[in-house]
A = this chain, B = another copy of it.
Amino acid sequence: MGRTSDARERILTAAEALLLSRGYSALGVAEICAAAGVPKGSFYYFFASKEELALAVVDEHWAGRRAGWERALAADVPPLARLRRLYAYAEDGLRADRETCGAVTGCLLGNLALEMSTRTESVRTRLREIFDEQVLLLEGAVADARGRGEVRVADTRAAARALVAQLEGQVLFAKLYDDPGRLGVLWADSLALLGAEAAPAAG
Binding site for B on A (CB under 8 A): 21-26, 101, 103-106, 110-111, 113-115, 117-119, 124, 127-128, 131, 151-159, 161-162, 164-170, 172-173, 175-178, 185, 189, 192-195, 199-203
Contact = CB atoms under 8 A, between A and B. Distances in A.
The 10 closest A-B pairs by CB, nearest first: A169-B169, A165-B169, A155-B203, A195-B201, A25-B25, A152-B201, A25-B26, A159-B203, A158-B203, A159-B202
Nearest to A135: B173
22 contacts: A21-B118, A26-B119, A104-B118, A110-B172, A114-B172, A124-B176, A128-B177, A131-B173, A153-B203, A154-B200, A154-B201, A161-B185, A162-B185, A165-B169, A166-B169, A168-B173, A192-B193, A192-B195, A193-B202, A194-B202, A195-B199, A195-B201
Interface SS majority for chain A: helix
Contacts of A124: 176
A201 B153 CA distance: 5
Contact of A168 (B162, B172, B194, B203): B172
Contact of A176 (B22, B26, B128, B166): B128
Nearest to A170: B165
B203 A154 contact: yes
A20 to B, nearest CB: 8
Contact of A189 (B151, B175, B193, B200): B193
